[in-house]
Copies of this chain bind each other. A is one copy, B any other.
Amino acid sequence: MKVEEIPDPAVYRLSFYLRQLEAFRHLNRNTISSKQLGEALGYTDAQVRKDLAYFGQFGHPGIGYRVEELIARLKKILGTDKDCHALLVGVGNLGRALLTYKGFPRKGFHLVAAFDSDPGKIGRRYGELEIQAMSEIVRAVGTLRIRMAIVAVPPESAQDAVNQLVKAGIRGILNFAAVSLTVPEDVFVQSVDLALQLEQLSFRMSLGTIQNSLAAPM
């Protein structure tokens, strides 16, 4: 099985399997069947088995999957078996919240440097970190061997920030700015648009009522 032919949705679900397995481990479950894992997440058992089979043979016929073992395997596949350093650009309200977000270190992600373009913020400390000028990014990436960055700047300055990150050698970007970004094809961008999520929720909540407005002249 070549990596390229693994469906994107399957990779995405892999993270959910891992999260759910850790919940099961917390309940002292030793083994789990594809049926049980699927039910906890709203997938079919066949879906779970096929997804996992893309990556190898992890199950034990008659038994199911050993929770501890599968967690270790999935972490290795997802690349979260080792700790990983990342930097943050944009230390506004959202950026500061991300600096102290417990979910990141829990998965082995550590923010080890923070940058902002506002001269008034440079030199201030938030938690462990002292905010640095954008011009320091290149040096920090080099000395700290950082490959991943989180962008939490206003939409207008996001592409500019990203350009600087790419130039500094960053290979993966988690983007919170509500804009489409352009990057070289060897750089990966994962975007999270918080307001867009709320908008999607809004649509799904009005499913019943929308029927009319589709036909209506407006």
Chain A positions within 8 Å of B, measured between CB atoms, are: 1, 3, 11-12, 14-16, 18-20, 23, 40-42, 55-56, 72-73, 76-80, 84, 86, 93-94, 96-98, 100-104, 106-107, 109, 147-148, 150, 154, 171-174, 178-180, 188, 190, 192-207, 210-211, 213-215, 218
Contacts and interface: CB of A to CB of B under 8 A. Distances in A.
Contacts of A101: 93-94, 194-195
Number of copies: 2
Given A42-B180, A190-B200, 13 more contacts: A3-B211, A16-B180, A40-B180, A72-B218, A79-B199, A80-B199, A101-B194, A107-B198, A147-B205, A171-B205, A172-B205, A190-B204, A192-B192
B107 A218 contact: no
A42 B189 CA distance: 13
